[in-house]
Structure 1
Amino acid sequence: MKNWIKHIVLGLNYLKSKNLIHRDVKPQNMLVANNVIFKLCDFGICGTLKDSISSTHLGSMRYLPPERLGNICSYGTRSDMWALGMSLLEVSQGYLPLSSESIMSFMSHMKNDWQPDIPTTLSQQTRDLISILLERDVNQRPRYYNDILSMSSMTTLEQNPSEDERNLIENILKSLPIPTPE
């Protein structure tokens, strides 16, 4: 998981360095190469940042943070942080939280009382990262991607993927439908 997190955060950090924000961070917009290199894709709704926010209202509803669901504030890097946290939770659990709920019920939970149920099978460092990314108070989430990259769990990463990461990728690839020729 750590290499995946690191690669995606590096991609988001690169976009930020170009004054852009992704606005649609989710597992479906992440690619993996055979050598377990992870990349962001689908930049169709990227927005330009002005003072670290974008005023347009885009993104996949189930990955939007509570403050965006209520239109309380503009979309900024902290919104992408939330979407990254939801993506981490989805990948670690194998499903998106509240995915069986109707969109209206989902929005109600997110705006009011939802707290993530983080799997105890994850390392404490990964659980702490998900907690920080899914902080309901937008001002308590990391402000900069470098804040994530400088966390001790990220700085001690080995360059090669762990066996758990390779197994995770293999399981994901096995679960994908096999394309049929048309």
Structure 2
Amino acid sequence: MAQLIKAPLAGVLEIFPRIFEDQRGYFFESYREDWLQAEGVAHGWVQDNQSFSQKGTVRGLHFQRGEHAQAKLVRVIQGKVLDVIVDLRKGSATFGEKYETILDSQRNNLMYVPAGFAHGFSVLEDSIFAYKCSNYYNKASEGGILWNDPTLAIDWQVAVPITSEKDADWPTLEAFKISEGGL
């Protein structure tokens, strides 16, 4: 059985699967529906995504709005990332707070991120990143928070971040609060 740890932000789980190693290599269950169901989480995952990113890349902080909101189950297949989420749920006691964890292919850990969070990661080693989504991506519902927002003060742990033009144009958390108030 995997070890599930509740993060300080309500609904967020870190999952550490049981890994069986021997002289041939290793084996582990990377996903079991009953892990999440035991915590009251039930999704019919509809989309799997995978990306490769070189060391120093920062992706995020992204989210989907409204009826296209997505819960995610994220993990690293190869490499190591700093995974970061920000609570954007209207009325949440932890609105605007961040949570960070290291996901890596040595521990094969996962993080469950409920809908209503902005998500991003920085690449500490060349990495293959994979995640399940509870809803399909919808371009019109896409949003984000500025990755280097001074209010969030995220230490992405990379010296010279490689980012996209799109990620440089997202609003700050404060501007998001004023314009949208939350998800």
Q: Structure 2 length normalisation: TM-score?
A: 0.23
Query: Which has the larger strand fraction?
Result: 2
Which structure is higher in RCO with an 8 Å CA cutoff and minimum separation 6?
A: 2
Q: Structure 1 length normalisation: TM-score?
A: 0.23
Query: Which has the larger helix fraction?
Result: 1
